[in-house]
Each structure stands twice: as C-alpha cells, then as structure tokens.
Amino acid sequence: MTVVVVMGVAGCGKSAVARKLATTRGLPWIEGDDFHPPANVHKMREGIPLDDADREGWLRTLCEEIRKHPQGCVLACSALKRSYRDTLRQVSPSVRFVYLHITPKESLRRVAERSGHFYPPSLVLSQFDTLQDPEGENDVLRVDAMGPMGSMVDVVQKGLLKLS
C-alpha cells in the first residue's frame, strides 16, 4: 500500500498537488476537506478555529477512507500536528508525507483569492499557530510551495523515491 499525505496550511496547494500526484501515480485521490463533519465546517465558516477534539473524529474517518484503498491513495490533509500525523501513520507503515511549506503572507493571499471554499482568510494565521513543523520526521518530504505547480509535483515525485 502506497499512501501519500500532502499536508500543510490552508492555501499551500495541498488539493492541487495531491490531485496531480494521484493522477501521475494512478492512485485514488482523497480530498480531506470533504470528510469534515458539518459541525466542523460550520465552525470554520464562522471563523472559529478547529481544536484537537474537532479534528479527532475527522482524522479517524480519514484513516477509514485510506483503508478502503488497499492499493494506496493520495490524501490532501492539513496534518498540522505531529499527533495528527501519528494517527494517520497508524494506517500503514508505508504512509509518507509531503509537507508543502509556504509563508503566512502567501497563504493568506491565496486563501483570500479563492472562491466557494468554506475556509475564511481570517483563520489562516491560526493554522500557522497550530502547525508543528515536521522537521526531523523521517517519512516527511519538505517542498517549497511557492513555485509553479508542475515543478512542485516533479520535486515531490523525485523526493518520494528517496523516502521509500
């Protein structure tokens, strides 16, 4: 089972990179945001950051979704804290993370520009407050999310080979 979790704060490009990576690898793509319970979505729409308790059930649901794909999958999920990543790691020893690193300023700009998403720009800085940098975690590839999409996916593909 190959499981790649594309992680990072809002606006870093998780969904776009995960979707492209899934297509390139011939794996199913799972959009983590689609599995937030209505209460979580309501909180975020109201500008209230999620806490550990809010994310606990969501992460368990994502683990169940991953297990539905024994051939592997690519998941777009913020996975901001080590404990969240550890929950996802419990699914399989082959789980690998791609951390899309971005500056707060660029994240805020991107979130402010997107339309039709429930996540408001007012919550961007709360994600940076929650983020525990995965530096030193041996199953995490760190990628600069400030570059063009095509080159990011190429960097991810090459970097994942080194993590295998």
Predicted local confidence at residue 164, as pLDDT: 65
DSSP 27: -
- CATH class held by domain 2-163: alpha beta
Concatenated DSSP letters of 129-155: HH----TT-TTEEEEETTS-HHHHHHH
Tens digits of residue pLDDT in 117-150: 677 788 899 999 999 999 999 999 999 998 777 7
Return the bridge partners of 96, or none. 4
Inform me whether the pLDDT recorded for 19 exceeds 90: yes
Alpha-carbon span 120 to 154, nearest angstrom: 30
Inform me whether the pLDDT recorded for 59 exceeds 70: yes
Predicted local confidence at residue 128, as pLDDT: 96
Residue owning tokens 């199913």: 28
pTM of the model: 0.93
Considering the chain, what is the average pLDDT of its residues? Answer: 92
Tens digits of residue pLDDT in 77-123: 999 999 999 999 999 999 999 999 999 999 999 988 877 767 778 88
Alpha-carbon span 86 to 65, nearest angstrom: 16
Predicted local confidence at residue 119, as pLDDT: 76
DSSP 77: -
Instruction: State the pLDDT confidence band at 29, using cuts at 50, 70 and 90.
Output: very high
Domain spans, the chain: 2-163
Sign of CA dihedral 28, 147, 128, 97: positive
